[in-house]
């Protein structure tokens, strides 16, 4: 059976994902992010396990990643079972020149932040469309259901627009793997990502927003490009 050729964007994602898999060495515990670019990394990781006898274990950030890893035969452990995570490999929806990120279009950013914080190194895989000079949003925000009206009012007071993310093939809001609601907040601008991240995360009822500014010093970004992957950072 023939398969459709990859689009230029998917080729870039594959380049980035395959390159990230090269950073993994025997005995590592890997944080497995969520999304299409990480899926390519997992495919290459499975090949290395089969071809090289690579021995690793992964800590997944979502149900989707768990299911994908199980289908590929990648060994998994829970976060509570490990003392440290050597490398987390994840995607991003936007990244700026200082390696600050917006994540969460897949509604997994709360678990992804926990895994990033628990990891000694963070590798972000992306295609060139994710690079921007300034983060713009929308900013995904996970909230507990009880707080929805209050959080929406508080965000509206900051300016910009707030919507409740609606499900696909499901009536009503998107529900995260943690059982919470996802908002998408588009501020007028994000001149100070660190400040906006703190402001949003301090609103009672917010579990976590999708702005990631605290991991830049341990972040490597791999951008898949036509002439091969480009490495930014460590």
**pLDDT tier at 95, thresholds 50, 70, 90:** very high
Largest CA distance in the chain: 55
Instruction: Just list the catalytic residues.
Output: 112
For 193-218, what is the mean pLDDT?
Answer: 98
Look up the CATH architecture of domain 139-211: 2-Layer Sandwich (3.30)
Task: Please state the pTM of the whole predicted model.
Answer: 0.94
Q: Which helix (H) or strand (E) holds 184?
A: strand 181-186
User: What ranges do the domains of the chain cover?
Assistant: 8-131+214-233, 139-211
Query: Is-contact 200 139, C-beta < 8 A?
Result: yes
Q: Reply yes or no on domain 8-131+214-233 having CATH 3.40.50.1360.
A: yes
Check pLDDT > 80 for residue 108.
Answer: yes
For 3-19, what is the mean pLDDT?
Answer: 89
**pLDDT tier at 2, thresholds 50, 70, 90:** very low
List pLDDT tens digits, range 113-171: 999 999 999 999 999 999 999 999 899 999 999 999 999 999 999 999 999 999 988 88
Angle formed by the axes of helices 36-52 and 8-21, nearest 10°: 50
Tokens matching residue 36: 């299409």
Instruction: Give the mean pLDDT of the chain.
Output: 95
Cis peptide before 138 (omega within 30 of 0): yes
Q: What percent of the chain has pLDDT over 70?
A: 99
Q: 121 CB contacts (<8 Å, ≥6 apart)?
A: 86, 87, 88, 218, 219, 220, 234
pLDDT number for residue 3: 60
Per the model's pLDDT, the better-predicted residue between 62 and 4 turns out to be 62
**pLDDT tier at 234, thresholds 50, 70, 90:** confident
């Amino acid at each position: 059976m023939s398969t459709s050729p990859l689009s230029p964007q998917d080729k870039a994602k594959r380049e980035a994902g395959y390159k990230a898999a090269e950073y993994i060495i025997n005995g590592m515990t890997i944080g497995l992010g969520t999304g299409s670019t990480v899926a390519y990394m997992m495919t290459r990781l499975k090949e290395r396990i089969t071809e090289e006898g690579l021995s690793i274990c992964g800590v997944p950030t979502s149900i989707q990643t768990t299911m994908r890893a199980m289908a590929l035969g990648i060994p998994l452990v829970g976060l509570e079972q490990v003392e440290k995570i050597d490398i987390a490999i994840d995607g991003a929806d936007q990244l700026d020149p200082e390696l600050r990120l917006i994540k969460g279009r897949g509604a997994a950013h709360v678990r992804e932040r926990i895994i990033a914080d628990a990891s000694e190194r963070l590798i972000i895989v992306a295609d060139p469309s994710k690079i921007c000079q300034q983060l713009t949003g929308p900013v995904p925000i996970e909230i507990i259901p009880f707080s929805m009206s209050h959080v929406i009012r508080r965000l509206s007071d900051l300016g910009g627009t707030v919507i409740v993310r609606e499900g696909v093939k499901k009536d009503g809001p998107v529900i995260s793997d943690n059982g919470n609601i996802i908002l998408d907040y588009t501020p007028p601008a994000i001149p100070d990502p660190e400040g906006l991240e703190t402001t949003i995360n301090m609103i009672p009822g917010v579990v976590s927003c999708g702005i990631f500014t605290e991991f830049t010093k341990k972040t490597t970004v791999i951008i898949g490009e036509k002439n091969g992957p480009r490495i930014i950072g460590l």
